[in-house]
Chain A
Amino acid sequence: MTSAQITFLILAGIAAISAIGVVALNSPVRSALVLVVNFFVLAFLYFSLGAQLLGITQILVYAGAIMVLFLFVIMLLNLGNTNSAIQKKDGKPLIGIICGIGLFGLIASQIILPMGPRGQTAGAAPGYGSPQAVGYTLFTNYAWAFEITSILLLVGIVGSILLAKRRLKS
């Protein structure tokens, strides 16, 4: 077992446990904090795949911006002591777990059967995830999609301001 495999096993274990924690923990704040752990570990997995720029972007965008937004909304809503923070005792967890096992079996069979337990060896060129390579491709072949994404983000900003604005009493 090489050191890369040991690193992957540790990171994947943390990611899997924190993914369960997001679903299983009762308080939304705890779910958010466990999700931050998950995003950080995913960034390290991206590093281990050789995609350095995307790993850094993952930390900045997800663990930084998006999770701050989540914690901010949880704080504003003050959900800690309302009813919806507590799970009702009904059949939903059981149904969910059964559906989850079925879904995981379905996807995993489609991964294992064609791929085999070993999989392929890495084929990408070294340095394929460097900022230079990603930026060159993004601004040449994908420039149109990049501009469309900027319009999408602009629409998102305007829409969220419009939704969160307090209505004036007329």
Chain B
Amino acid sequence: MTWYLMLGAFMFTCGAVGVIVRRNPVVVFMCIELMLNAVNLTFLTFAAYSPSLLPLGPELTQSWMSGQMMVIFVMAVAAAEVAVGLGIIMAIYRLRDEVDLDSMSAMRG
């Protein structure tokens, strides 16, 4: 279990470094996807290695199901986020003919 979590931590760190370092907004989006996937892996690890029932209540608290549900919702949110984010990048590119995150500092177009 520990090594699954360590892999998740490593992938999350790679994504965070990419968000800091890279200048291309498309690659920054890919790094955000990498971070989301690292968190998904962590959720599934905790789901697979969780004890059978948490002392919280009825079957809602079957913790291995809760982890999988979180992964499903993270995937849905990631899909929506990528669609909107890439639309924003397209709009900026059409407006300015360049996409460079370091020169993109104005909040007004």
Question: Is chain A's interface secondary structure helix, strand, loop, or mixed overall?
Answer: helix
Residues of A93-136 whose CB lies within 8 A of B: 93, 95-97, 99-100, 103-104, 107-108, 111-112, 115-125, 128-129, 133-134
**Total residue contacts A-B, CB cutoff 8 A:** 241
Secondary structure type dominating chain B contacts: helix
Task: Name A70's contact: one of B6, B7, B82 (CB within 8 Å).
Answer: B82
Q: Is B51 an interface residue (CB 8 A)?
A: yes
**A15-B7, A62-B75, A121-B49 given as contacts; is B17 within 8 A of A96 (CB)?**
yes
C-beta contact mask, B80-106 vs A, less than 8 Å → 1, else 0? Answer: 111110111111011000111110000
Chain B: minimal CB distance from A56 (Å): 12
**Max chain A C-beta neighbours (<10 A), residue from B52, B62, B101:** B62
Q: Which of A143-170 contact B (CB under 8 A)?
A: 145, 149, 152-153, 155-157, 159-164, 166
Within 8 A of B (CB), among A48-103: 49-51, 53-54, 57-58, 61-62, 65-66, 69-70, 73-74, 76-77, 79, 82-85, 87-88, 92-93, 95-97, 99-100, 103
Interface residues of B (CB under 8 A from A): 1-7, 9-18, 20-24, 26-27, 29-31, 33-34, 37, 40-41, 44-45, 47-52, 59-60, 62, 64-65, 68-69, 71-73, 75-84, 86-91, 93-94, 98-102
| Contact surface of A with B, Cβ cutoff 8 Å | 8, 12, 15-16, 19-20, 22-23, 28, 31-32, 35, 38-39, 42, 45-46, 49-51, 53-54, 57-58, 61-62, 65-66, 69-70, 73-74, 76-77, 79, 82-85, 87-88, 92-93, 95-97, 99-100, 103-104, 107-108, 111-112, 115-125, 128-129, 133-134, 137-138, 141-142, 145, 149, 152-153, 155-157, 159-164, 166
- Top 10 A-B residue pairs of the complex, sorted by shortest distance between their CB atoms: A156-B80, A119-B1, A163-B87, A96-B21, A100-B17, A23-B18, A119-B2, A160-B87, A124-B64, A84-B100
